[in-house]
Structure 1
Amino acid sequence: MHRFSPPRLIWLLVFLSTACAAIVAAQRHRVEAANKAVHLVADLADVRSIAAGEGVPLKQTLIRLQRAGLTAVAVSEDTFNDLLVSGRLVPTSRPVNADGDGQLFVCPDAGLADRIRRAAAARFPKWGEAQPAPAVVLGPDGKPTRLPGTPSDLAKYGIGLDAEVCGLIQRLGLQVVARVWNPPGATERLARAAILDAAQNGAVGIIFNGDQTLGWRESVREAANVLRATGDEVQGGESQPPLWYGTVEFTQQAGDSIYKEVMQPHVLRVHSILSAEMD
């Protein structure tokens, strides 16, 4: 009775695949050995939850976490949906004009109203004065901000980072990591505004929320190039490192390969730890 012997081709394929795996593992080991710096980042929403649950100020909670090893805080852009849900943007039953067009919204916070105004100017096409706006936001100063859609229509669109919170984080010696969503049909103009807003608020890196990086189709590479140029744009042309790009491990984000290509060597691997893993 003959003993089965695998064909030599199979042994050759096994050898080649093992060799390739060993090469990849060796390359990863060299990269990780040369880059041992680690950021321990907490999401701002989680920090707020801890502070609220313990009945202590946000600042005190950040100090405690910093003493425990925290190095950075991930701050997400506020979206129009966030503003509506939290009651910071209040809908009224009043139309925008006497003809009954559009809907009027009120923002009682002067700083937030100004942030909405700046975001609308930077991220959306200018809405013609002669054309009735679908929505208008009034701040405490009575200045109107015309929007190209209602806040519900723009629910997934961001208005930038909270400068006050970012300032607090940095004054405590912690770093800011921006978290940005990719809204439907994000243009190069919107992507540029979102990235520069993060840089101007002191962010050292950016991690995109959800399953997409920032940009829509061909604008993904344009957005990645904007991120690559943040050092020069924020520092007035001086040679400064750009914001790093965080590629999330074990998660597929559309456009990730383009950002990794453009942003080398300013790419950090991000490993998300679940609450159960921290207990």
Structure 2
Amino acid sequence: MFGVEKKDRFKLFLFLLAVIVSLGVFGYRLFAEQLNMKVELAYDYEDVLLLQAYTGQSQAQVLKMLQRAGVTSVVVPEDTLNNLTRRGLANLITGEQLLNMSRFGQIQNQQLLGLIRSSDITPENSYIMIDQVAAFQRAQNALINDLGAERAKVNGRNIIEVRGQVDNLGGIGLGLDETILANLSIYKFQIIPKLVNSRRLDDVSLGLKIDTVSALTPVHTFIFNGSEVLGYGNNLALVAEKMRKNGINYGVIEFFQQKGSLSLAEHLSGYNIGVHSIPAPQLQRLTKEQAIDRYVLAAMDRGMRILYLHAFVNDALATDLLAYNEEFISALKTRLERRGSTVTPIDQVTIGLDPLVSLIIGIIISLGIVSAGFLFLRIFNKNLPDGIFKWLLLGMLLLDIIFLRLNYFSQWRALLALLVSIIFPTLAMLTQLPKENSWQPDKMNFHKVLFLILRIVGITMLGALLIIGLLSDSYHLLKIYQFRGVKLAFGLPLLIVAFYYFMYPYRIKSLRFIIKRFLQSKVTVGYVLAGGAALAFFALYFLRSGNYQLPLFNGEAAMRNFLGYILLVRPRTKEFLLGYPLLVFICYHLGRAIDYRYKWVFYTLAAVAPVSLLNTFCHLHAPLWVSLLRSLNGLILGVAIGCFVSWGYKVAEKIWRYIF
């Protein structure tokens, strides 16, 4: 690959520079991941109340259990009229309901009777009665900030009158209950506020809300309730500025789409932290072992740093729900610690490159990609004029500038990463496998086979390094941005490999004639079966790739769990059961068991290995050590299976010849 003539030295320089820069990013990622081997176990306060209700235990007993089991933090939802009403701390009634009750003499509350006697009740208005002085004061201030002093007025000792119809009155955020915070501080829990958005809040009120919550107790992370993040509408920049000023991280909840989440995360580069939660209804359908597997996978494979826990309240799981929940949390903590994580509150996150550094690195790598792309094109045309490289380089620089000026450079880097994911696995397969029909399998030994496979892996890993360099910003590492074009990255290399080896070396000149002859061929049963098999393979291949997967085959889940337990990180099935074994089998049996006419079919199937290998590193949210170990496990297991199959084939062949 690097037998370089003088005219190619500049191309090599650009490529090596891109690789060296990517290696630097690789090292930084490994260092940052070691600093971030912390996991925070956060429990929802609403679930504390739920466990109280289901078990009949006091809140103190539930909190002691959580402390004993290893919970580090408690998520405290911001009070709303809805949850105050559920807890029996508030009553919300419309003027129309109040008048109807008055007509029938159904009002027993003296304060409401006094309200009716002392003022005109308007049917369209709402009346909120809160007995606790502190809660009343918080509600009054919050409603005035949200609705204005003209619409939210005190009408009696503990009654607030809200004038006119108000959308989502019961969902307006009323701040955090200081009594709850004081109680939680006794047990040394970190507080994670779960705040509610309102588009009616102006800049001053919104800033005051953040400052007030931040001052109540040491807070390091906010998450948000409902379908919107705080500030969605027109105040996201202000929210980000206030959070940054107070040193508060934004907890990005995995798989939960909230309006404004992406924009807020972009404003808070360096202050984003991944949160994984299993929704409470879904949790009740799982056992504690299944839930632990999901949480551990989220922390270790996807880099989620806060695990947001809910209570098991399904009576069918256990007779003693408090003990069952304690066992669940304790076992989760133990599993995380055995995998090298420290369970502790997280106040600072070190993840992703600085945006400016990421931009500079992206430009350097883009020029290296031009060199790799030119080499790739040379495979198809050895006489490709050198002047084309200069035009490609100029075009790349112009595109870098254009996307930078349009503020779409992140999307441009993602497009370059997709290009890398297509070029390098294909390049590995086109340059390292035998092209001529003079392969001598009898002269192959294990060292030669392994060296050939390692060359394919090495070229592919160069592409993986470039992708790591391109996409190691906090947005990709937290899945705020995701690698795009997964299906294209999986499919196009296979099609290019199939086309190249089917046409090589002379058929390309006769391509038009071959296509014409193929279209005029009679359709036989063999063609139909071959076409059906190809369609079935690609359908299965694509459906088992990416985020939308087919159900697992019988026994496959057990095999995956077993491999994950034995090898720590489960290798990709398509690598160790298809790609690598086929590469080994090709080396030992090409020209013998594999007819030269059909080598393109086997090469295409074997290309699954480098394609899948590189795709592993396109999961930017996964820690690098996980991706490296997954790839190494796939390589070792796949080569071992390939050697066993090849040996088994030779033995079976000898037995067949001996008998027949």
RMSD in angstroms over aligned alpha carbons?
Answer: 3.2
Q: 2:244 matched to which residue of 1?
A: 228
1:88 CA drift (Å): 2.7
Equivalent residue for 2:143, pick from 120, 131, 155 = 120
Are 1:201 and 2:220 matched, yes or no? no
* Greater shift in the superposed pair: 67-76 or 44-53: 44-53
Q: Distance in 1 between matches of 2:139 and 2:89?
A: 11
* Greater shift in the superposed pair: 142-151 or 102-111: 142-151
Q: SS of 1:41's equivalent?
A: strand
Q: SS of 1:215's equivalent?
A: coil
Higher relative contact order (CA 8 A, sep 6+): 2
TM-score by length of 1: 0.73
Q: 1:263 matched to which residue of 2?
A: 268
Q: Which amino acid aligns with 1:169?
A: L
Q: Distance in 2 between matches of 1:29 and 1:191?
A: 38
On the 8 A contact 2:89/2:131 being kept in 1, the answer is: yes
Equivalent residue for 1:98, pick from 110, 113, 120 = 120
Q: Which amino acid aligns with 1:172?
A: Y
Q: 1:10 matched to which residue of 2?
A: none
Runs (5+) with no aligned partner, structure 1: 1-18, 128-132, 231-241
Question: 1:217–1:119: structure 2 CA closer, same or farther, 3 Å change rule?
Answer: closer
Runs (5+) with no aligned partner, structure 2: 1-18, 100-115, 293-327, 329-660
Q: Distance in 2 between matches of 1:185 and 1:122?
A: 9
Mapping of residues 1-279 of structure 1, within 5 Å: 30-90=31-91, 91=93, 93=98, 97-98=119-120, 100=122, 102-127=125-150, 133=151, 136=153, 142=157, 145-147=160-162, 149=164, 153-202=168-217, 203-230=219-246, 242-274=247-279, 275=283, 276=286, 277-278=291-292
Question: 1:28–1:62: structure 2 CA closer, same or farther, 3 Å change rule?
Answer: farther
Q: SS of 1:39's equivalent?
A: strand
Deviations 1:200-232 (Å, cap 9, x if unpaired)?
2213311012332111332111222122223xx
Q: SS of 1:225's equivalent?
A: helix
* Greater shift in the superposed pair: 249-258 or 38-47: 249-258
Q: Distance in 2 between matches of 1:248 and 1:29?
A: 24
1:183 CA drift (Å): 3.1
Q: Distance in 1 between matches of 2:274 and 2:233?
A: 23
Q: SS of 2:39's equivalent?
A: coil
On the 8 A contact 1:228/1:243 being kept in 2, the answer is: yes
Question: Percent identity among equivalent residues?
Answer: 25
1:182 CA drift (Å): 2.0
Q: Distance in 1 between matches of 2:257 and 2:25?
A: 20
Question: 1:263–1:152: structure 2 CA closer, same or farther, 3 Å change rule?
Answer: closer
1:161 CA drift (Å): 0.8
Deviations 1:50-88 (Å, cap 9, x if unpaired)?
122221221221121111110000000111222344443
Q: SS of 1:45's equivalent?
A: helix
Structure (1 or 2) with the greater helix fraction: 2
* Greater shift in the superposed pair: 67-76 or 192-201: 192-201
> Over alpha carbons, which structure has the higher Rg?
2
On the 8 A contact 1:73/1:174 being kept in 2, the answer is: yes
Runs of 4+ that moved beyond 4 A: 22-30, 135-139, 148-153
Question: 1:183–1:71: structure 2 CA closer, same or farther, 3 Å change rule?
Answer: same
Q: Distance in 2 between matches of 1:122 and 1:145?
A: 14
Q: SS of 1:261's equivalent?
A: helix
1:25 CA drift (Å): 8.6
Q: Distance in 1 between matches of 2:27 and 2:200?
A: 40
On the 8 A contact 1:93/1:103 being kept in 2, the answer is: no
Question: 1:217–1:165: structure 2 CA closer, same or farther, 3 Å change rule?
Answer: same
Deviations 1:238-268 (Å, cap 9, x if unpaired)?
xxxx122111122332222332233332321
On the 8 A contact 1:84/1:151 being kept in 2, the answer is: no
On the 8 A contact 1:50/1:61 being kept in 2, the answer is: yes
Q: Which amino acid aligns with 2:275?
A: V
1:176 CA drift (Å): 0.5
Q: Distance in 1 between matches of 2:164 and 2:122?
A: 15
